[in-house]
C-alpha cells in the first residue's frame, strides 16, 4: 500500500508541477518578478498530495514565537517537504536556496523569479556577500526569510554542523533568529521514493534576540535546534497555515 500511495503521489505531484511550470513560464515572459503565487501553488499541491494520497498530516505549534512581519527563520532540514511547507505557513516566504536548483528545467526559472535568495555553496566569501546583499533586500521587502543552517538535509536524529550564513543574515538584517525543529524525515525521507503515513511536526521555538556575537548566536541556535520535539500528542493545530 505504501508503494502504491507513493507512486500516486509522484504522478499527481510531478504532473501538477509540470502544468504549473508551463503556466508560470508564460507569465514569466511578461511579469518575470511575479511568480511567487506559482511557488505557493506548487507547495500546496505537494502538501495536498501528501495528505490525501499518502496520509501525511502537518501539525504546527509555537505560532506565538513567530513575528507577524519580516522574520529570519532558521529551520532543521530533513526532507524536501521542508523546502515547500513554509510557502504555505507565511505570506511572503523567501527561501535561501542552493544554486543547483536553478538548473531544473522550467522550475528553476520560476523559483528564481519568485524572489528566492540563491547562493552558490562553493563560492566561499563571494557566497556570503551575495547572501548578505539579497538578505537585506528581502528584509526591506518585508519577507520571511527561511534558511537551513545545516546547509543540506540530515537524517532524523542526526545534526550537521551549522553554516555561517545564518549569522551573517542576522547581523545585516538586525532580526531575531527564530529556530524551528521538525521531524519531517520520519514520513518523507531525505532521498526516498516512499512516503509513509503519519504526522509531521513543526515546532517554532522562542526567538533568539538580535545583537549577540556570532559565536554566542551559533551556540544558542544549535542548542535550540537540538531540542527534542516534546509531547507530540499535545499539539492540536493540525492546519498548514494560520
Measured distance CA(19)–CA(205) in Å, rounded? 36
Q: Work out whether strand 93-98 and strand 144-147 pair parallel, antiparallel, or are unpaired.
A: parallel
pLDDT above 70: residue 231:
no
Q: How far apart are the first and last CA of the chain?
A: 32
Taking only the tens place, the pLDDT of each residue in 16-75 is: 988 988 898 888 888 877 888 988 999 999 999 999 999 999 999 999 999 989 999 999
Taking only the tens place, the pLDDT of each residue in 161-219 is: 999 999 999 999 999 999 999 999 999 987 788 999 999 999 999 999 999 999 999 99
pLDDT at 76: 96
pLDDT at 68: 87
CATH code, domain carrying 121: 3.40.1130.10
pLDDT at 106: 58
| Residue 240 domain flag | no
| Residue 126 domain flag | yes
Cell numbers for 204: 517554532
| Residue 222 domain flag | yes
pLDDT at 125: 77
pLDDT at 242: 47
* Three-state DSSP string of 135-169: HHHHHHCCCEEEECCCCCCCCCCCCCCCCCHHHHH
Measured distance CA(40)–CA(17) in Å, rounded? 11
Main-chain phi, psi angles of 177, to 5 degrees: -100, 125
Structural domain for 208, as ranges = 2-234
pLDDT at 108: 67
pLDDT at 123: 66
Q: What is the distance, to the nearest Å, from the Cα of residue 138 to the centroid of all Cα atoms in its chain?
A: 15
Stated pTM of the model? 0.89
pLDDT at 234: 44
| Residue 239 domain flag | no
Contact residues for 222 (Cβ-Cβ < 8 A; gap 6+) = 159, 162
pLDDT above 80: residue 109:
no
**Domains of the chain: total:** 1
Taking only the tens place, the pLDDT of each residue in 113-134 is: 778 888 877 767 788 888 999 9
| Residue 38 domain flag | yes
pLDDT at 122: 72
pLDDT at 169: 95
DSSP 77: -
pLDDT at 31: 81
| Residue 39 domain flag | yes
Amino acid at each position: 500500500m505504501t508503494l502504491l500511495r507513493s507512486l500516486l503521489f509522484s504522478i499527481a505531484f510531478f504532473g501538477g508541477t509540470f502544468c504549473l511550470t508551463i503556466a508560470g513560464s508564460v507569465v514569466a515572459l511578461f511579469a518575470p518578478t511575479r511568480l511567487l503565487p506559482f511557488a505557493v501553488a506548487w507547495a500546496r499541491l505537494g502538501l495536498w498530495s501528501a495528505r490525501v494520497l499518502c496520509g501525511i498530516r502537518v501539525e504546527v505549534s509555537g505560532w506565538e514565537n513567530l513575528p507577524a512581519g519580516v522574520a529570519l527563520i532558521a529551520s532543521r532540514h530533513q526532507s524536501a517537504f521542508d523546502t515547500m511547507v513554509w510557502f504555505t505557513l507565511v505570506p511572503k516566504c523567501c527561501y535561501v536556496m542552493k544554486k543547483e536548483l536553478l538548473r531544473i528545467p522550467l522550475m528553476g526559472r520560476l523559483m528564481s523569479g519568485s524572489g528566492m535568495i540563491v547562493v552558490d555553496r562553493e563560492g566561499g566569501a563571494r557566497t556570503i556577500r551575495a547572501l548578505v546583499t539579497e538578505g537585506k533586500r528581502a528584509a526591506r521587502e518585508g519577507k520571511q526569510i527561511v534558511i537551513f543552517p545545516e546547509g543540506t538535509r540530515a537524517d532524523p536524529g542526526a545534526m550537521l554542523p551549522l553554516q555561517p550564513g545564518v549569522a551573517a543574515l542576522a547581523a545585516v538584517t538586525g532580526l531575531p533568529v527564530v529556530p524551528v525543529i521538525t521531524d519531517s524525515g520520519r514520513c518523507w525521507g531525505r532521498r526516498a521514493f516512499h512516503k509513509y503515513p503519519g504526522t509531521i511536526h513543526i515546532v517554532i521555538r522562542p526567538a533568539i534576540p538580535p545583537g549577540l556575537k556570532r559565536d554566542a548566536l551559533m551556540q544558542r541556535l544549535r542548542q535550540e535546534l537540538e531540542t527534542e520535539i516534546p509531547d507530540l500528542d499535545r499539539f492540536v493545530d493540525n492546519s498548514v497555515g494560520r
